[in-house]
Amino acid sequence: MFKFIYKYRFHLIAGFVLASLFLFFINQTTPPSIQSTSLSNDQTNVMLDVPVDIAFTTPTTARERRHLAFNIVPPIVGSPTWDSPNTIVRLNPYSTLTKNTHYTIDILYKNKSIYTLSFTTNPYDEADLHDQANKQAADDLIFGQKVSESLQQRPWLSSLPIRTPSYYIYFDTPSQQFLFYFIAPQTPILEQQAIDALKKLGVPTQDLKYTVVN
């Protein structure tokens, strides 16, 4: 046995070297190249049902897919799913991201990172958005009712503001008074013309409150 090994020692050494070189080149193969992602890096306000897709430049082989790993923090429910050409992998097959969460996805090939993607989801989920929509609708209804009541009490509001080459007239709701802005030089005659313009709209002018805005 030892004589056999000694006799063919050079063949064994050559075979060992060739095998080592073969394994070396296998391990040095170029990793799959990523062409694009459905989300941009550091994207914010990502909706919770948006798919996270990774597109590779060329279809991946079964061997390449065995060496690919997707390290997702925090974890996403469901295993990655590939399309039929094995070019695009979807990392959230159930589209169930968590609201107001920062995700980091590290794509590994043979335990070496080849691509990293980070994004942050929307702070509101579908239920929150639905509640906000209902609240907005209720606020709009209340606002509309108040506007309607105000128009019933002050029908002349719908005809404001008054704009002329000489003056503008606005109604300031918080102070409940009119604002006069004179473009031409202010005179008692011009001021009376502004008051008469309001009177024509049906505004009671006997106790008229207004402020001249310079």
Helices in 77-174 by DSSP H: which ranges? 126-153
E strand intervals along 11-149: 34-37, 43-46, 53-56, 68-73, 81-82, 88-90, 102-109, 112-121
Q: Are strands 210-213 and 177-182 parallel, antiparallel or unpaired?
A: parallel
More confident residue, 194 or 20: 194
* Region(s) of the chain under CATH 3.30.300: 155-213
- Give pTM, 2 decimals: 0.51
Is CATH 1.10.287 what the domain over 155-213 is classified as, yes or no?
Answer: no
More confident residue, 17 or 43: 43
Give the model's pLDDT for residue 23.
47
- Per-residue pLDDT at 205 exceeds 80: yes
Which one of 57-66, 136-145, 179-188, 197-206 scores highest in mean pLDDT?
Answer: 57-66
The fraction of the chain above a pLDDT of 70, given in percent, is 75
Handedness of CA 197, 201, 202, 208 (dihedral sign): negative
Mean pLDDT check: name the lowest of 14-23, 131-140, 196-205.
14-23
Q: Residues 33, 40: contact at Cβ < 8 Å?
A: no
Query: What are the φ and ψ backbone dihedral angles of 179, each rounded to 5 degrees?
Result: -115, 125
* Region(s) of the chain under CATH 2.60.40.3710: 29-121
Average pLDDT rounded to a whole number, residues 107-112 = 95
Alpha carbon distance 142, 44 (integer Å): 33
Fold of 29-121: Immunoglobulin-like (2.60.40)
